[in-house]
Chains A and B, each alone.
Chain A
Amino acid sequence: MSDDKVFVCRCQEVTVEDVKEAIKDGATTVAGVKIRTHAGMGLCQGRGCGKIIARMLSEVESPEKITPGSSRPPARVAKISEFLEVK
């Protein structure tokens, strides 16, 4: 069976095929795949798919050139009311 329909990013339901298309479209970084497919934009912010995408990119780009996606706060999903409690 082909892997093309397997989900790489579960949060945004992005498949192996979608990632391959993004790479064909010119993506050479995890962020490049993200803007073309939305992989990594969901609840877990690429914690799962980031590594898989980097591995897929290593087939077209030398690994030292593949930059990881940028990390931004919050470190985990945080309720807005929690931000209001701290000054």
Chain B
Amino acid sequence: MNNKNINDTDVIVIGGGVIGTSIAYNLSKRGKKVTLFEKYDHAKGASGSSDQLVLMQSKKPGVHLALALESLKMYKKLEEELGEPIHFRQKGGMILIENEKEMEIMKGFVEKQKKTGLDVDIITLEEINKLQPGISQDIIGATYSPMDGEVDPIALNIAFARGAKANGTKIVLGTEVKKIITEGKKAVGVETSKGKFYAPTIINAAGVWAPLLFEKLGIEAPIKPRRGQICITDEVDYFIDMPILSAKYMMAKHNPDLLKDAPELIAKLGIGLALSQSPKGNIMFGATREFVGYDKNVTYEGIGEVIRNAVTYFPQLKDMSIIRTMGGLRPFTPDGLPLIGWTEIEGLFIAAGHEGDGIALAPVTGKVVADIIIDGETFVDMSGFDPNRFSK
């Protein structure tokens, strides 16, 4: 039958998370006819189990941070553009430093980040106390950047989807893409749980599940799920003014070897503090970084350690209550950078592997992907994100 073409689709997007919906929104805004397939629903993977941070300080100095800074510019106008509340706010952020060794490491980070254009400095305990009361007085300093922000990631995901739909994108939820159909060295469509669909361009934005679709084609996409466990408190009066992280968060993220001198469970579970308060008053804090395959359950050990760790930085958390815990899978890559670009198969594109930076990078990822697909080039240097870099 006529399943070779659904409404003349130009582009098929696989994945309905923040990355897939941002891409669909940006492509459809520029006149492309897009169909997006999502196995379950929006915010079902990493987009719905993340914290709410739009951090600049946590990005790798260089192309990664440069891309995040472009995303930040877009965030400032995004709520108006999408016409839905996404609760973006920019109040700065701090990374707490516990000892001299961490201070050395963070000084190195700050120096490199400044070169990429980030407004960031080391501040003293007195300055910390002025910016955010309630922090343990055993802290020796922090890095502070006024550029860090926060957003409601689920609202962002839904707003991108609605924006894409308003531009004519067909969003097909509850439909699994089982296979990418190729003819010779060319991708021509997808086989889904509801039949086959065809388009000249296919974008794999399936996050941690992206490599599974590529495996069948013999393409290597070294994305691995890295679990994070988070706790959520009851709604309390507003008192956390900005995202608060620990230097160990940076080590666990960028170089877990640096945690070898940390307490055993902290090193084993890759625990670093990331704490913030939602507009409704819930305090969210995490997190672990664990390689445990596709298991996204929380564990007694993980949650216990996340709590013990958070209380050392914020003693008054003891008097608050937890209403929920959550586990999710970040799409980790070996060099910490996402895979964004054309694969070696004609017509097949990938935008996945953002690890814990998917929320911060979603706006700019959608824009650069639309640029590359429509114009063949974009306004930032994307060579560092080449998906074929690992096989070269």
Contact = CB atoms under 8 A, between A and B. Distances in A.
A84 B307 contact: yes
A35 B319 contact: no
Contact of A80 (B154, B162, B173, B318): B318
B311 interface: yes
B158 A35 contact: yes
Nearest to A44: B323
Contact of A35 (B43, B326, B327): B43
A77 to B, nearest CB: 5
A79 B307 CA distance: 11
Contact of B41 (A28, A80, A86): A28
Interface in B156-170: 157-158, 162
A28 B173 contact: yes
Nearest to A36: B158
A27 interface: yes
Given A45-B324, A72-B326, A80-B318, A35 B154 contact: yes
B52 to A, nearest CB: 13
Interface string B169-186: 001011000000000000
A26 B171 contact: yes
B41 A77 contact: no
B391 to A, nearest CB: 37
B131 interface: no
A80 B322 contact: yes
A45 B174 contact: no
Given A84-B307, A84-B308, A78 B322 contact: yes
B388 interface: no
Contact of B173 (A26, A43, A73): A26
B298 interface: yes
B303 interface: yes
B307 A83 contact: yes
Interface in A51-76: 72-74
User: DSSP class of A's interface residues: helix, strand, loop or mixed?
Assistant: loop
B171 A43 contact: no
B321 A72 contact: no
B224 interface: no
B319 A80 contact: yes
B295 interface: no
Contact of B42 (A35, A79, A81, A84): A35
A52 B320 CA distance: 30
Given A28-B173, A35-B48, A77-B234, A84 B318 contact: yes
A36 B159 CA distance: 10
A23 interface: no
Nearest to B154: A35
Given A45-B324, A73-B325, A74-B322, A80 B174 contact: no
Given A28-B173, A73-B303, A84 B319 contact: no
Given A26-B171, A45-B323, A72-B298, A80 B158 contact: no
A86 B322 CA distance: 15
Contacts of A80: 233, 307, 311, 317-322
Interface of B: 40-44, 48, 154, 157-158, 162, 171, 173-174, 233-235, 298, 300, 303-304, 307-308, 311, 317-327
